Structure 1
Amino acid sequence: MGPIVALHPPPSVFNYQRFMKKDVTTPLVVNFQLLKGHVNQEEAMAPDPSIVLDSVKHERVYMTEKTTRIPVREGRLRGTLFIPEGEGPFPGVIDLFGTNGGLLEYRSAQFAARGIASLTLAYFAFEDLPKEMKENDLSYFEEGIDYLLSHPKVKKNGVVVVGVSKGGDIACSMGAFLPKVKGVVSINSLAVNAMCPLKYKDMIIPELPFHAEKVKFLGPNVISSYEMSSDSEDFPEAHIPMHKSDAEFLFICAKEDGNWKTIPQIFQVIKYDGAGHLIEPGYAPFSFATYHKTVPGGALFWGGNAKDHSVAQVDSWKKILEFIKRILV
């Protein structure tokens, strides 16, 4: 077999989200090495210098030099606001992630690099927020919208909410109940309320039940949660009434999502063959399984294959940007 390329860190085990929690001002550095002959994964991780034919480092910058990064600690809000270079006003986005909790900034930083003001919000497992997600209060996210729209460089004609996984169904709920939300991008998320109850004023939407006993072990340290969710058709009370909303909805769905059954049959849906659950902005590393705090000492299976997933990330990122700018012209 001819020469192979070793990628450090290897894409199959690299936790992109966990890395980017640290500091979006720090570039992501990937070292490509061209190795002589056929080697196994252990040898490729720390190759003998004699078999390294060539190497190059690739640096990716997420936050541009003139982007303004503003830590948000207003009342109960915990997040980070990114304002693009220039006078504005800029379209505004609320950015949400899923069940790993914490505060992830890399996607918002990339929105700002493309002329979109973006507020990424933590809603549990960060600083003084609840350590576990036992209930979500939609008024918290409404406060985030008001904070974003109050900035003098943000357009006042509403916001688009972008959410992945659990963040996607929160985004759908925001689109259904909050009139300042003009568009929703839901990435590999259920079209129902999942994981915990959602409340807004006097209303409560119960969660779609999950069954831990249906977890599947794909290997000694990798699990799949794909079969854990109940059939949403059996729980209409958990459905989010998106049909009552004036917002536009865009669903980005991976047809090989190994984590959730996330192909809705309503609204605008873009389906990607061969893509897994973690559809990130274009050119992010592919990971079929990564660390997740709900799997101590193991990894959660996301599905997909490297080629098709990478193509889906590039294409969906372009469509997301087009959607945001069309909605908030």
Structure 2
Amino acid sequence: MLRAVSRGRTRLPCVRAALRRVCLSVSPQSGLADEQLHVRVRGLSAGAPVTLRAVAADEDGCLYDSCAHYEADSGGAVDLRRDAAVGGDYTGVLPMGLLWSLSPAVMERPYHRLEKKGVHKSPQQVEVLLHEGHRDPKALPGPPLAKARLQRQFVAPGVRRIRLREGAVRGSLFLPPGVDSFPGVIDMFGDEGGLVEYRSSLLASRGIASLALPYFAFEDLPPAMTEFHLEYFEEAVNFLSRHPKIRGSGVGVIGTGKGADLALSMITYLPQVVAAVSISGCCANTAAPLNYKDFTIPALSYNMSRVRISEAAVFDVSEALDDPLDPANSRCLIPVEKAQGSFMFIVGEDDRNWKSSVYAKAAVSRLQENGKNNYDLLSYPGAGHRIDPPCSPFCPVAVDRVLGVPILGGGELKAHCQAQEDSWQKIQDFFHEHLK
């Protein structure tokens, strides 16, 4: 008798779901990771409070989740493209809010970024679940009324990934499908080091051949940023520009953080580079001296005494870098006015990693003072430091690989993620325009 009652209770949520014919749909169920989702619920009672959750895991098995509270309309439906979240991890009409707000689950270490590493191995799996009532984001959610699984692909069908060991150059070349030739781009990130492929794979999925280029902490490359030699990056440029699948006589480069000031140095000194996108970068050489032929650009110094630490042990390093506009640091500045190519500067006005908005405006002023108009400046209010391809989770604080501590990146969820969406298409348009 007791066992029969127990079994009946465990079946009740499923019975209720069946009687109401609750349906949770997410489309596309399988699509590129930069595509918008459409999440809808039907079959609820009018005005019913519900919680939608998203759950994903990285390659190490660490869990990330998000949740938002909604109320069904008079027809018993919820549509994330139309309806506002009334609580949870975000509020307002944010169709992609469940993906934008994915963060480490309660039992996981905080301040880690959900970042796809093995882009060619498998898609990112995400489960979306529907629960009755407005559930506390930190509480156990209980059994779902409905659920849906989706796959976020980082490599479109037909895209080829070629692991590169060409002379001193290491990395991965992603080629779009088809028999045509394509614009070619070198893609670099910041002080996390290693091989970062997800932006290159998505660029190739959108018709731009991309070489994901590591420059330290990978295979036989230097283990740390002690000095840079522009000849290494020149060798990568020569390889890409000579590749039979690359069209035109020049290539582009895109970089984030330290990769951004390397991008500026490449377009300044390497004539084969004709287009450069700097994301959250500096107008001066940073981290380590940059050597090329018979000259060296010294690096701006960091003063760790200017670092502030919050009560939550989050490090604010926004004032740590020496001022590149101080005349004493003029030798560190990258002479971008010498470049013959075109620039795109992308910055968040709430970047708390460093003052990338100030640095971009300084580079633009330097171009203007020399009669140049070869630039676009995309400056986003409310956006923080790491401006990634769209649908990437917002991570205002992230553990730094070098320092091993959580670093404040700044930004606000909606503004930051909208900046990611807006800049992504403009990046593609920029390269298609200048790499003809």
With normalisation by structure 2, the TM-score equals 0.71
Which residue is 2:131 aligned to? 35
Q: Which has the higher contact order (CA 8 A, sep 6+)?
A: 1
Which residue is 1:185 aligned to? 277
Contact 1:288–1:301 (Cα < 8 Å) also in 2? yes
Q: Counterparts of 2:137 and 2:309 in 1: how far apart (Å)? A: 22
Deviation at 1:114, TM superposition (A): 1.1
The DSSP-based 3-state class of the residue aligned with 2:387 is coil
Identity %: 39
Which residue is 2:73 aligned to? none
2:295 aligned with 1:203: yes
2:410 aligned with 1:303: yes
Which residue is 1:327 aligned to? 434
Q: Indicate the RMSD between aligned Cα atoms, in angstroms.
A: 1.9
Deviation at 1:320, TM superposition (A): 0.2
Q: Counterparts of 2:435 and 2:244 in 1: how far apart (Å)? A: 16
Contact 2:350–2:383 (Cα < 8 Å) also in 1? yes
The DSSP-based 3-state class of the residue aligned with 1:319 is helix
Q: Deviations over 1:234-282 (max 9, x none)?
A: 1111100000111111000101112111012214211111111111111
Which residue is 2:266 aligned to? 174
Distance 1:4 1:273, change over 3 A: farther
Q: 2:141 aligns with which of 32, 47, 50?
A: 47
Which residue is 1:13 aligned to? 103
Deviation at 1:17, TM superposition (A): 6.4
Q: Deviations over 1:72-107 (max 9, x none)?
A: 011211100011111121110000000000000111
With normalisation by structure 1, the TM-score equals 0.93
Q: Counterparts of 1:223 and 1:81 in 2: how far apart (Å)? A: 35
Unpaired runs of at least 5, structure 1: none
Which residue is 1:287 aligned to? 395
The DSSP-based 3-state class of the residue aligned with 1:154 is coil
Which residue is 1:154 aligned to? 246
Q: Counterparts of 2:315 and 2:137 in 1: how far apart (Å)? A: 21
Q: Deviations over 1:18-64 (max 9, x none)?
A: 63223433212222233333444432xx5222xx3333233210111
2:172 aligned with 1:88: no
Contact 1:181–1:247 (Cα < 8 Å) also in 2? yes
The DSSP-based 3-state class of the residue aligned with 2:249 is strand
Contact 1:17–1:104 (Cα < 8 Å) also in 2? no
Q: Counterparts of 1:109 and 1:292 in 2: how far apart (Å)? A: 24
Q: Which amino acid is the alignment partner of residue 198 of structure 1?
A: L
User: Which segment drifts farther, 203-212 or 54-63?
Assistant: 54-63
Q: Which amino acid is the alignment partner of residue 201 of structure 1?
A: K
Deviation at 1:212, TM superposition (A): 1.5
User: Which segment drifts farther, 16-25 or 194-203?
Assistant: 16-25
Which residue is 2:337 aligned to? 243
The DSSP-based 3-state class of the residue aligned with 1:5 is strand
The DSSP-based 3-state class of the residue aligned with 2:149 is strand
Q: Which amino acid is the alignment partner of residue 302 of structure 2?
A: F
Contact 2:353–2:409 (Cα < 8 Å) also in 1? yes
Distance 1:295 1:209, change over 3 A: closer
2:180 aligned with 1:72: no
The DSSP-based 3-state class of the residue aligned with 1:143 is helix
Contact 1:24–1:106 (Cα < 8 Å) also in 2? no
Q: 2:386 aligns with which of 278, 283, 298?
A: 278
The DSSP-based 3-state class of the residue aligned with 1:163 is strand
Q: Counterparts of 1:170 and 1:18 in 2: how far apart (Å)? A: 25
Distance 1:236 1:303, change over 3 A: same
Contact 1:24–1:105 (Cα < 8 Å) also in 2? no
The DSSP-based 3-state class of the residue aligned with 1:196 is coil
Structure 1 runs (4+) deviating above 6 angstroms are: 15-18
Q: Counterparts of 1:321 and 1:5 in 2: how far apart (Å)? A: 33
Unpaired runs of at least 5, structure 2: 1-47, 56-63, 66-100, 105-110, 365-374
Distance 1:219 1:73, change over 3 A: farther
The DSSP-based 3-state class of the residue aligned with 1:73 is strand
Deviation at 1:312, TM superposition (A): 0.6
Which residue is 1:313 aligned to? 420
Deviation at 1:16, TM superposition (A): 8.2
Distance 1:37 1:211, change over 3 A: farther
Which residue is 1:61 aligned to? 153
Which residue is 1:110 aligned to? 202
Q: Counterparts of 2:378 and 2:394 in 1: how far apart (Å)? A: 19
